[in-house]
Structure 1
Amino acid sequence: MVYEDISNSSRKKRICKLGSLHELTHKPNPVRHLDGYTRRFMPSYTLYYFNGRGRAEVIRMIFAVAGISYNDKRVNFKDWSTFKAYMPCSCLPVLELENKIQIPQSMTIARYLAREFGLYGKTNMEMARIDSICDSLNDLFNDFMRMFYDKDGKIGTFSFMVTVPPRGPTDKSLTVNVVCAVTLLYIFHHSRSILVVLIVDEERTGPKPTFGTDMRSQAIGESSPMRQMFKETSSKVLTFLEKTLEKYNNGTKFFMGEEISLADLMFFAALENPLLENPKLLSSYPRLTALRNLIAGHSKIASYMKIRHLTDF
């Protein structure tokens, strides 16, 4: 994988009005079910998305499992208002083929590539089963994303009051309003650290007071409508998936049996961020926990996880 600033590349003429981009070129190992003839006539692929896993990660994982090279172009959030005018549906991700055809919508792209690369089942019934799993996971993923992003796709911010206790009997408590980005909470929560806010009071002398807390519940409280919606959706979806997995091979293999499919990749990608936010999310679902470990141990996925570009979300 090569992480590269392409502002001076030959593509600059075509995208110079679109804002700054970064490009990741993936060159994974070939996958066994695509023969030489198929590879020789396969189009060039370019994936446009923000610099994050988000809705594009399942697509990147499809490329990784299939062993297909592609250009991974990442759009800065600050440039999105300009860039979106050039994207169909004014949304990301978008898959571009041969610098000509553009396909929007994450699940449309994922299904198209899964069909192209043999990851979408062998019969209409298998495809329907994969669709039901993917659509259910997409519901869960959408509810999770709504907790963190605004209507323009930007990381949300929140504000809250912090009261710093007095340092001594003659000192007074200090109350200030703190504005913080959700992404900061998320990063610190992932590292299992405490987010520390430095309160600067020019009238005081000596060490400045600090206030530390998880603060995640203040950003998106347990009683908030968004949180409740996500909890209800995840409970329904995960219960359905656990039972679905149990019906086939007693839940000891992939969703479709011996071979990994789009359903498995969607399951892994859609739950990455929710599991970072709540590591116990699958604690009541032993078969899904085993499936996640099985997917992580897949040779192509394991290799991809080692080289993929690390992002906070």
Structure 2
Amino acid sequence: MMPSYKLIYFNGKGRAECLRLLFKLKGVEFEDKRVEIADWASVKPTLPFGQAPVLEVDGKQLPQGKAIARYLAREFDLLGKDSWGQAIGDAVVEAITDLSKLFWEFYMVKDADKKAKESKKFAENVAPGHLSNIEKFLTGNVFLTGDDVSMFDIDLAVQLEFMVGLIPDILTPYPKLLALYNRVNAIPQLAEWIAKRPDTPF
């Protein structure tokens, strides 16, 4: 019998979108509980560590986005075929997460001029080293761990999506990375969700 899943996060993509896509990819039903900022103060004390996302599985709570992603990937057979491929996937996800932390430092800036200046600096001086290093890990496989998509591909694509949304040509110098990004987003189950999901600021 399939467990009952409830994913608790804010009304945004953020750290929960990879998790939503894992559910969508496998066609597994889940409650997508979106907490409005105005309600966060009352929800926060009910969650482990007082943070989101949290996954409830038959009422049991699991915190931390990466832990949730790995749990779902194990349950849904989306971890790749062998330990080396999984290690490569982990390395790539950690690398893009390092870059994402630098990206999010200015992504939510409201001053348009400052945001444009920081975006240019990020695209020209910060991102190239990280993205070129990630590109080196993309060999002849269709996806990071082989011929089948894994949680690592989805996590990578989700984090890149924010960068591409703000800096559309950021992946142009990295054809293998761009191809992988497009390949993930073209998977029918994911493309269907991406086309109809709520339009949110983050």
TM-score (norm 2): 0.90
Question: Cα deviations across residues 60-85 of structure 1 (Å, max 9, x unaligned)?
Answer: 11111111110000111122233211
Work out the CA distance in 1 between the residues paired with 2:156 and 2:144: 10
Question: Cα deviations across residues 104-143 of structure 1 (Å, max 9, x unaligned)?
Answer: 1111111111111011012221211111111112222222
Larger RCO of the pair (alpha carbons < 8 Å, separation 6+): 2
Give 1:302 deviation, angstroms.
1.6
Name the SS of the counterpart of 2:117 in structure 1. coil
Report the AA paired with residue 47 of structure 1: L
1:265 aligns with 2:158: no
Q: Which has the larger radius of gyration?
A: 1
1:241 aligns with 2:200: no
Q: Which of 73, 80, 92 is equivalent to 1:121?
A: 80
Work out the CA distance in 2 between the residues paired with 1:96 and 1:231: 41
- Residues 119 and 262, structure 1, Cα contact 8 Å, conserved in 2: yes
* Alignment match, 1:278: 167
**Compared CA separation, residues 219 and 239, structure 1 to 2 (3 A):** closer
Work out the CA distance in 1 between the residues paired with 2:123 and 2:91: 20
List structure 1 runs of 4+ shifted beyond 4 angstroms.
227-231
**What does 1:182-201 correspond to in 2, within 5 Å?**
182=110
Q: Which has the higher strand share?
A: 1
Aligned residues: 202
Give 1:258 deviation, angstroms.
1.6
- Residues 50 and 74, structure 1, Cα contact 8 Å, conserved in 2: yes
Identity percentage of aligned residues:
36
Work out the CA distance in 1 between the residues paired with 2:78 and 2:101: 23
Work out the CA distance in 2 between the residues paired with 1:43 and 1:56: 19
**What does 1:129-148 correspond to in 2, within 5 Å?**
129-148=88-107
Name the SS of the counterpart of 1:282 in structure 2. coil
Structure 2 spans left out of the alignment, 5+ residues: none
* Alignment match, 1:288: 177
1:222 aligns with 2:118: yes
- Residues 8 and 35, structure 2, Cα contact 8 Å, conserved in 1: yes
Question: Cα deviations across residues 157-216 of structure 1 (Å, max 9, x unaligned)?
Answer: xxxxxxxxxxxxxxxxxxxxxxxxx2xxxxxxxxxxxxxxxxxxxxxxxxxxxxxxxx62
Give 1:50 deviation, angstroms.
0.6
**Compared CA separation, residues 290 and 75, structure 1 to 2 (3 A):** same
